[in-house]
Structure 1
Amino acid sequence: MRVLKLSLLLTGLSLCSLLQAEIYQWRDANGNLHFGDRPPEEQQVDVVTPRVNAAAKSLEVTVHHQDFTLPDGLHDKTLAAIEHIYERYRKDFGLDLHGTAEVNLYLFTRQADFQQWMNDRIGSSNPNYAGVFIPASNEVAVWRWSKEDDDVAQTILHESSHVLLHQLSPASPVWLHEGLAQYFQTLKVQDNGRVVVSALPDAERRIQHWIDNQQLITMRQYLSLDDQAWRKMAHELNAIPYTVAWGTTAFLMSKPVGRSTLRQMLQDLEKTDRRPTLQRIGHLYPGGLSRMEYDFFSWAQKGMQPQWY
């Protein structure tokens, strides 16, 4: 989920408890948009249930509701970027499905419609959310929360990355889930077809500030956090879990040995369904945790350079 309050990309509890039934959308007499599996009688409704198709494609991106279109070609490039994120998961990490991966998009202009969609789906909403993902149905909902088109596009990519990784590696530790979502949210498809991923300026500045003030958490400390401890810090609006999730992931993605480490971690998860231990991560990274700590610190001091694919 993307939270507006801190300009951080906060993913809270997974929204998994959905009934597998037909889902309808309709507007009431006051013009409010509703979603649910029990539409009112004598009311015009549209069926918007995500459909799981035979694996004719490796990825299916479907827009089920669209109130806005990002201008100047950004909309199509954002949808194309979702496909590139999926390709990175497949090529860099060797993750795949025995079927079709899905991203089911709902794009709202009004925050009220976005919140109603959440209420209809899970029974609650949050005014600070810019986007959410529901792994049980591979759904992503985003509202046009910013006047900056790139901000909205990044929210779409952030939540789509979550949905894709949940399908490909549902047991991934929360720091990696969030780090990859933040990393890939800046992915852009250029006019020549090349793909570039850039830094998150706020996170980059925050890490540099912590370095300057000798406040940066060590890799050993950070990677020792279990999911419960990570979420507790996040729900207390602590900037460390999200910022360092981006930094750790962006650092590992910046070099072949880092991508190889992530690949093996995710492959281990696919085979054993167990969280990678600190000892295992140290074994995977050439030179161990001490070398990883040194390399991360050096990378953070220099700042993230754009990465081309």
Structure 2
Amino acid sequence: MKDTPRFWLTFALLFALSIAGAIWLNKGTDARLFAPLISLFDRVEHFLAEVFLEDAPTLTGPDVVHGQQASDIRDSASPHSLHTHTALADDHTANDHQVCGRPPTKGRTDTGTVLVYKWEDENGRTHMADKPPPNRIANVTDISGNKRDFTYQILTTAVELPINFQGQIHAGSKRMYDTWHFFLGEKNLRQSRITLKIIDQRQFDAVRAREWPNSKPVAGFYMPSRNEAFVRYDSSRPDRALATSFHEISHLITASHLGPTAPWLTEGLAEYFETMDVSSQSGTIKPNTQHLRRLSSSSVPSLGDFLRQDRLQWNGPKRDLNYATAWSLMHFLMQGAPGMYAIKEVIEGAHAHSCKPFSAVSALDKAYPGGLLKLEGDWRKWLAANEATEHQT
């Protein structure tokens, strides 16, 4: 495909339009006059991903998982729950240290780059520039044609995914990487290889019984040693599989960049991205109403005690409350300054100490103006006022 005249003609036209747009638009420029160009970016981004991805996204048939017998294990999770978690210490993120032994992935700066940042201001106006905006997480497009964010595969067996599922996974993964672009900057990001295995209940139970024979039912899990995420698929609720996929992809990206990570941080990010609604090539992070209900009817732990939990404590009797608390803290911090910059500073520190001892709690205490005491007051006030809003990314 890449050697055809049609390909090169398409690439040349899009590249010329992209360069022209990048030259014309300076930081903060109102892009309404360039709406056709913006629309073009949105329509062709997924196409370009398919063309330039070194490992093209793949949907495979029923030969992905072999030789597995049906299990009698059944999911006992609440039917309205988007995502359930194991109660064991060896759950889907406890072995993040395994990523430290993997060969390094390719750096995003290993190839040329021509970046365009697109965002909406507080008045709903769309802007494009060649530099990131302040206090915004922009949509980052590499118009050089080099896909440096991630490669991915979607492997299926015994399930038929909705026609738009693959596009949503790609767009959602890109939105997560745009956020990580804000966290770490261009030079520190690495390519991640995302492998999703989406399988039916019987196959999923068999895999889980083999990998974690004593675990409780889950909707999905990530295996750092193989860099694979398994997602259970229910044809009556494809939205659950999508939410679980976003959750596990977040774990994969976090582990790839940070290695072992405090539960509140890695689970907070995963819960935050889990509720993402992808429309075209944009994303909306929605408040998790289930977590809000749980928090309103529970005694929320002190922030210090919550942040200092290890994985075994996390998966204790208050496991569900821990996930809800992690989501609320992350959603609060990511709503804007100063919280989003505090998380950025924590992640920068964790990245600098990847696979080395690092206190995310101390880093957060230093990063948030006024420390943990001020953060807890602001966060609890936000919770009490029920001020969780949608975030655009």
Q: TM-score, normalised by structure 2?
A: 0.60
* 1:205–1:137 CA distance, 2 compared to 1 (3 A): same
User: 1:10 and 2:98 equivalent?
Assistant: no
Deviation at 1:159, TM superposition (A): 0.9
User: 1:113 and 2:203 equivalent?
Assistant: yes
Deviation string 1:252-307 (CA, Å, 9 cap, x unpaired) is 11122111111111111222333326444222101222221121012212231000
Deviation at 1:125, TM superposition (A): 6.5
Deviation at 1:106, TM superposition (A): 0.7
Deviation at 1:183, TM superposition (A): 0.4
Match of 1:129 in 2: 218
1:184 to 252, 261, 273: 273
Q: How does 1:177-256 map to 2 (within 5 A)?
A: 177-191=266-280, 193-210=281-298, 215-223=299-307, 225-228=308-311, 231-236=312-317, 238-256=319-337
* 1:156–1:95 CA distance, 2 compared to 1 (3 A): farther
Deviation at 1:154, TM superposition (A): 0.2
What amino acid is the match of 1:124? Answer: P
Contact 2:105 2:191 in 1 (8 A): yes
* 1:271–1:125 CA distance, 2 compared to 1 (3 A): same
Distance 1:123 1:5 in 2: 17
Q: CA RMSD in A?
A: 2.9
Distance 1:53 1:93 in 2: 16
Contact 2:181 2:189 in 1 (8 A): no
Distance 2:84 2:332 in 1: 18
Match of 1:297 in 2: 380
Distance 2:208 2:164 in 1: 28
Match of 2:244 in 1: 155
Match of 1:79 in 2: 170
Deviation string 1:191-231 (CA, Å, 9 cap, x unpaired) is 3x322100111101111223xxxx222212212x2314xx3
* 1:279–1:125 CA distance, 2 compared to 1 (3 A): closer
Deviation at 1:97, TM superposition (A): 6.0
Q: Secondary structure at the match of 1:256?
A: coil
**Seq. identity, %:** 20
* 1:96–1:265 CA distance, 2 compared to 1 (3 A): same
Distance 1:198 1:142 in 2: 21
Distance 2:292 2:255 in 1: 26
* 1:99–1:292 CA distance, 2 compared to 1 (3 A): closer
Match of 1:22 in 2: none
Distance 2:104 2:198 in 1: 20
Q: TM-score, normalised by structure 1?
A: 0.75
Contact 1:4 1:129 in 2 (8 A): no
Stretches of structure 2 lacking an aligned partner (at least 5 in a row): 1-74, 108-146
Contact 1:4 1:130 in 2 (8 A): no
Greater mean alpha carbon deviation, residues 53-62 or residues 283-292: 53-62
Q: How does 1:18-167 map to 2 (within 5 A)?
A: 57-71=148-162, 73-94=164-185, 99-109=190-200, 111-119=201-209, 122=211, 124=213, 126=215, 128-145=217-234, 147-167=236-256
Stretches of structure 1 lacking an aligned partner (at least 5 in a row): 19-50
Query: How many residues matched?
Result: 265
* 1:155–1:80 CA distance, 2 compared to 1 (3 A): same
Match of 1:287 in 2: 370
Distance 1:95 1:5 in 2: 40
Q: Secondary structure at the match of 2:178?
A: helix
Contact 1:59 1:100 in 2 (8 A): yes
Match of 2:359 in 1: 276
Greater mean alpha carbon deviation, residues 56-65 or residues 167-176: 56-65
